[in-house]
Structure formats: C-alpha cells, structure tokens
C-alpha cells in the first residue's frame, strides 16, 4: 500500500520504487531532502552526493555543475577521496577526450553500455581512470530549458562489482529531483548576483544601510553603516535599536521605524521618512531615511527585511570616480579628465590649475574643450552633469 502510494506521488512505477536498495524509505527520504537542501550548502549538494555514494556503494559520485570546456575549467563537486591534481587533470586535458558525455535526457547508463567494448581501450580510461583504480562508470546528464547542462557520475574500482539495474533505478529515480534542485540553485544564484551588484553600488555611493525584520531584529548591515555606527557620534546600535544622542531625534526615528514596520504589509515601498542626526562632535549632521520593504504576495518569512534605514555621512571620503571611465564616456584627454575631476571635487579653476601645475589660461583652454565635448556651457552645469552620470558608480 505504501509503495503504491509513493509511486502515485512520484509518477514512478512501483517496480522502480521497490528497486531502491534494501527498500529503505527512510534513507531515500534523507537523500531527497539533502538534494533539495543542496543549493544552500557550500559546496552545493555535498551532503546529497555523499549519501548517493553510500547508497550506490560507489568510490566517488561527482556532479559536474558546469562541465569543463575549452573556454573554462568548469565546476565539479566531488564526494569521495579526490585529489586536487586529479580534478585539475580532467578539467584541463582529459575532458576533451571523454566520450562518456552528452547522454540522452533522463537516461542512466554505464560507459560500456553507451560506448561498447572499445570503452576499455579509450585514452581517457587507459591514461586517466585506470591509474586512479576506476573501472566502472555510471552516469546521467541533466539539461534545462535555460541552457544548463550538468553531468552526474558514479564510479567503482576494479575490484568492485559492476553497477546493477537496482543502482541505475535509484539514480533514475533521483534525477528529476536533482534537476529541480539545480533549477532552484540557478534561480538563487541569479538573485545573489543581483544582490551583490546592488549592494556594491550602495557601498560605492557611501550609503549606509541597516535592515530590520518584522520583529525589529537587525537582519543585515553594510560596511558604511557599520562604520558610521561604530563611531558613536550621534547614533549607535544598542541591541537591535538605533539610539540617537538627542532624545527628541531618537524618539522620532523609533516612531518612523515602528510606523514602517506596522504598515509594510500594505505599503508600496515608495513612502519614506527622514530626519537629520545631530553629532556631538560638531561635524555635519548625518542624514537618516526610513523606508518600508513591503511583503510580496507570497512572502511567508517573518525574518526577511521589513524596514531599511539608510544613513549618509556628508563628510565621508568617497572613493574617487575612475578618470579612465570619464575619458571613455565623454571622449576627454587625460588632462581634460584630470581637470574635470578636480572641479567635481569642489576646486575652483584657479585651484585646479595650481594643483595640475599648469597656467590658468591652459586650464581655461582645457575647460572650453570639455564644454564642447560634454555639451554644457557653464562650470556648474559640468559638475552637475558629471555627478549625475555613471562615473560615480565606476
């Protein structure tokens, strides 16, 4: 009864489910759970590959997440004892000689079934696998509509028995789960790329950010926010609370955060609140902005960011924009780009000329050329144009 029910859920014939080694459903459950937890591991799927190796009585189980090619070394995740030079040898040389590739979608097969008797005469076997005491090879390939191609391989030594029909049935049963997990990993990887891109942009702009969960706990804090809070000049973090030295300002900020937390379920995320933060040191006031991060339609976690507090220090030393990027964007010469950067930093034309060790008339000639190339007519317009361009992100 249990076997029949499991077969219905998984769309797998009862014969295949019964073929699971030892009929150990608890072991199968751990293996499938590990597959879906794989994208959260580092390296990914390391636990599930080890469980597969144990279930298949294999020497190694390898997932080629990105198979090696002439353009790149690929990404291989191994279970079992594998030395770095062995992996490197395959990634840099033997991958090009390997005939056990591009298997049919969903097919689980051995090297000899795929290639025939000549498998044992193949160069990759004779020169690579045989010296490593690898005799038997079982594999399957995974393809997705997004162009992902992965290879799953299991090996056994010369003294071991060949892979059986039961072993192939197990790998075949696991393949759809592995494919779904790989697709989830690709989606998470894309989101992480976006996160790193935007986090890097925020850091480049010297904008501090502290995010809070719905229960008020701190979820994340970037480097600039940590720097500002560690100075404890007008604002500091006490537990999960942002505390300001001026009591009235502190009460206002806490009220803004509470209001954002209370309203983030319906907020569009566009409404913001802000205030200035007085610094006892006498330095320019900090700017603080509070923005609700609305829950998505299907959000379920209460520990995701619900409110973000942005902090800006007007006296922070931002990294200078790239002069080379400025030259490329506007077609400036090196001298013109250097002059433009000094003007952006707030220097007058005379001060910039002195710093560049050129005459004022020479600097003025460069400035007229810059005006012509950028399409502006005044120095203030030039500074505004450059500050609003992408050079600040370079």
DSSP 63-121: EEEE---SS---EEEEESS--HHHHHHHHHTGGGG--S-SPPTT--EEHHHHH-GGGGG
* Alpha helix positions (H), the chain: 2-10, 14-18, 25-37, 46-55, 84-92, 111-115, 123-124, 165-204, 223-231, 247-263, 323-330, 334-344, 349-356, 360-374, 379-387
pLDDT at 261: 84
- The rounded distance, in Å, linking the Cα atoms of 99 and 114 is 9
Beta bridge partners of 287: 276, 312
CATH 2.40.37.10, applies to 2-191:
no
Q: Give the H or E element holding residue 100.
A: none
Condensed to tens digits (0 to 9), the pLDDT of residues 38-84 reads 999 999 999 999 999 999 999 999 999 999 888 888 899 999 988 89
Burial class of residue 166, CB neighbours in 10 A (0-12, 13-18, 19+): middle
Cα 173 from Cα 32, distance rounded (Å): 10
- Could you give the count of Cα atoms lying within 13 Å of 242 in the half-sphere of its Cβ? 33
- Topology (CATH level 3) of domain 323-393: Arc Repressor Mutant, subunit A (1.10.10)
Residue 394 has pLDDT above 80, yes or no: no
- Locate the domains of the chain by residue range: 2-191, 205-312, 323-393
Average pLDDT over residues 290-308: 83
Tell me yes or no: is domain 205-312 CATH 3.30.450.20. Answer: yes
pLDDT interval class at 12 (50, 70, 90): very low
Could you read off the pLDDT of 122-137 as tens digits, one per residue? 999 999 999 999 999 9
Q: What is the spatial distance between Cα 227 and Cα 212, in angstroms, rounded to a whole number?
A: 18
């Amino acid at each position: 009864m249990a076997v029949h029910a499991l077969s219905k859920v998984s769309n797998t014939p009862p014969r295949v489910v019964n073929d699971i080694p030892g009929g150990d459903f608890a072991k199968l459950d751990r293996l499938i759970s590990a597959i879906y937890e794989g994208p959260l591991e580092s390296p990914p799927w390391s636990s599930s590959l080890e469980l597969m190796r144990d279930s298949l009585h294999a020497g190694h189980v390898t997932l080629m997440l990105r198979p090696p090619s002439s353009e790149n070394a690929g990404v291989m995740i191994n279970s079992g004892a594998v030395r770095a030079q062995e992996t490197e040898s395959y990634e840099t040389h033997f991958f090009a000689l390997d005939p056990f590739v591009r298997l049919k979608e969903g097919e689980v097969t051995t090297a000899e079934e795929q290639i025939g008797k000549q498998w044992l005469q193949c160069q990759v076997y004779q020169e690579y696998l045989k010296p490593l005491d690898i005799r038997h090879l079982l594999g399957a390939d995974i393809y997705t509509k997004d162009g992902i191609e992965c290879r799953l391989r299991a090996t056994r030594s010369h003294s071991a028995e060949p892979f059986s029909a039961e072993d192939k049935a197990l790998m075949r049963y696991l393949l759809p789960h592995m494919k779904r997990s790989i697709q989830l990993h690709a989606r998470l990887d894309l989101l992480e790329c976006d996160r790193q891109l935007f986090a890097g942009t925020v850091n480049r702009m010297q904008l501090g950010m502290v995010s809070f969960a719905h229960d008020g706990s701190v979820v994340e804090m970037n480097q600039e926010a940590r720097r500002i809070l560690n100075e404890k000049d007008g604002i500091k973090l006490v537990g999960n609370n942002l505390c300001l030295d001026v009591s009235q300002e502190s009460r206002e900020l806490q009220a803004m955060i509470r209001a954002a937390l209370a309203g983030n379920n319906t907020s569009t995320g566009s409404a913001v609140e802000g205030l200035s933060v007085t610094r006892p040191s006498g330095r320019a006031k900090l700017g603080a902005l509070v923005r609700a991060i609305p829950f998505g339609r299907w959000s379920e976690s209460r520990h995701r960011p619900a409110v973000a507090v942005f902090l800006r220090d007007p006296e922070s030393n931002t990294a200078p924009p790239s002069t080379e990027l400025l030259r490329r964007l506007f077609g400036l010469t090196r001298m013109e780009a250097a002059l433009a950067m000094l003007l952006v930093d707030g220097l007058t034309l005379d001060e910039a000329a002195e710093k560049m060790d050129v005459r004022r008339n020479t600097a003025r000639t460069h400035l007229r050329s810059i005006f012509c190339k950028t399409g502006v007519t005044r120095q203030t317009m030039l500074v505004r144009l450059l500050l609003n361009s992408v050079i600040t992100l370079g």
